[in-house]
Amino acid sequence: MLSNTLRNIGAFNSQISLLRYLATSDKNKELDKLFSNVRIEYRGHDPAVLQSYSTFLLNVCKNLEIENTPIVKHPYIRWIECLLRSKFVHKKYKLHYETRTHVREMSIKNVTGSTASTFLEYIERNIPEGVAMRVDYTEICDFPVIIKESIEKTTNPTI
């Protein structure tokens, strides 16, 4: 019923055609970046949380049909600190502090810039508390003009 009402209004159809015209404008077309590899490293103190987040990442890659590498578990980083209980005396009464940081890593392969930014925004919004993430990009670029010219000169020598 709502769709019939909207069809009867002539202004709605003209707005759709106007939106199509703006969406297909030739002025703002840019080439999208290409990434051969996007490396995602995430770390936290609770291995169960990291395992849950790892299954989430694999499910996202599977559902969005993004090529990915298996998740790599790195050895945990152990930080130990022995401190005195008091500020400056009673040396034989010490406290022992220890943290373990577990590190996981995966990569996604051969994606465009828009796909990578959408994927990363989605997984960053769903990151659990206490988990840090680091992302490294490997971009595919054209050769600079000077190198292209030198390659053309060596492959096609003019006589």
For domain 33-155, give the CATH number: 3.30.70.600
Among the residue ranges 11-15, 50-54, 74-78, the one predicted with the least confidence is 11-15
Model pLDDT for residues 89-102, shown as the tens digit of each residue: 888 899 999 999 99
Q: Model pTM? A: 0.72
pLDDT at 24: 52
The answer on pLDDT for 20 being more than 90 is: no
What share of the chain in percent tops pLDDT 70?
A: 80
Structure confidence at residue 142 as a pLDDT band (50, 70, 90): confident
Structure confidence at residue 10 as a pLDDT band (50, 70, 90): very low
Q: Edge-to-edge, what's the strand order for the sheet holding 131-140?
A: 72-84, 94-112, 34-44, 131-140
72-84/131-140 β-pairing: unpaired
Cβ–Cβ < 8 Å for 127, 53: yes
pLDDT at 14: 42
What average pLDDT does this structure show over 41-62? 98
- In Å, how far are 45, 139, 146 from 136, measured between CA atoms? 22, 10, 28
pLDDT at 32: 87
Residue 27 pairs with which residues in a beta bridge?
none
What share of the chain in percent tops pLDDT 90?
A: 65
